[in-house]
Structure 1
Amino acid sequence: MTIYARTTTDKADCPVCGTASRHRHGRYRRRLDDVALSGRRMVINLLVQRFRCPASACPQRTFIEQLDGLTERFARRTPRLRRLLERLTLVLAGRPAARLSAHLAVPVSANTLLRLLRRRLVQPRARAPRVLGVDDFATRKGHV
C-alpha cells in the first residue's frame, strides 16, 4: 500500500542555526517505510521542499523541511517503524527479529536490525581514571 502526499508549508527552520526561511530552493520525493496496515506493507511517498538558509553566517546553505513524527534527517523509515524494529531487536535479537518482522510485512535483514540497535545504544564513553589508590586497611586480614 502506497500513500502519496506532499507538504504545503511556506516556511521552515534551518536545522543548524534555527533561522526561519521562506526561500524555496526546490522539491524532491522521499520514500518512507511505515508500520504495516492490515498485514500489508506501507510506504509513504512524500514530496518535500528544500529551503535556502537566509543567514549568511550559517554553514548550512540548503536544507529539507522535516515533519515532526513522520520524518527524521536521512531516514528511510518513520520514527514509529524505527522504534518498533528497535524493540523487536531488543527482545528477540537479530535473526529472530528479522523473521518476525517479515511476518509483520516489514521485511528487514538481521544486520539492519542490529545496526539500528547499535545506533540507538551509542553512549559517550566515560574517561578512564588516571590515578588509582589502594586502601591499606582493606588488604590486611583480621581488621574490620
Structure 2
Amino acid sequence: MRLTVVALTMMLCLTGCVGATVALPYKQTYPSQADQPLRLNASPPVIRKTQKSDVTRQWCGITVWALIVPIPLQLPVCESYSEVAYGADANGEQVILFNTKQRIRPTLYACGPIMILGSIASRYEGNAFCGSLPWSDG
C-alpha cells in the first residue's frame, strides 16, 4: 500500500516535467610537477612530443525526456582518450609536462515540480523548478 502511494505521488510530481540529457566531450589538462619551475621562471613549457592512448568512440548528443519517456538523438561520434605531453624541464631533461584526458560528461537539464529535489545533490545548479546536474565523470 505504501509503495503504491509513493509511486502515485512520484508520478503526479513528474507530470509536466520535461528536460534533456546532453552528453558532450570535455577536456581536462593537468600540469605535472616539472611544469611548475618553468612557470615560476616565466619560461613557457615547450612540448616536444605527445603520446595519445587508443581513441574510444562514444555516444554523445542529446536525449529529450518528456514525461519519463526518453527520445535519444545521439550518435557514436565523440572521442574519449588520454594524452601525455613530453618536453624539457628546467634542467633540460625530457619529462612529462602535461596529462590530458577527454571524456564524455552527460548533464541533465530539466524543469518541473520534481526539480525541487535537485537541491539535495551537491553539484546541482538552478532553482526549485529548473536546473542542471552533471552526472559523474565516465
TM over 0.5: no
Task: Indicate the structure with greater helix content.
Answer: 1
TM-score by length of 2: 0.33
Greater Cα radius of gyration, structure 1 or 2: 1
TM-score by length of 1: 0.32
- Higher RCO (C-alpha under 8 Å, 6+ residues apart): 2
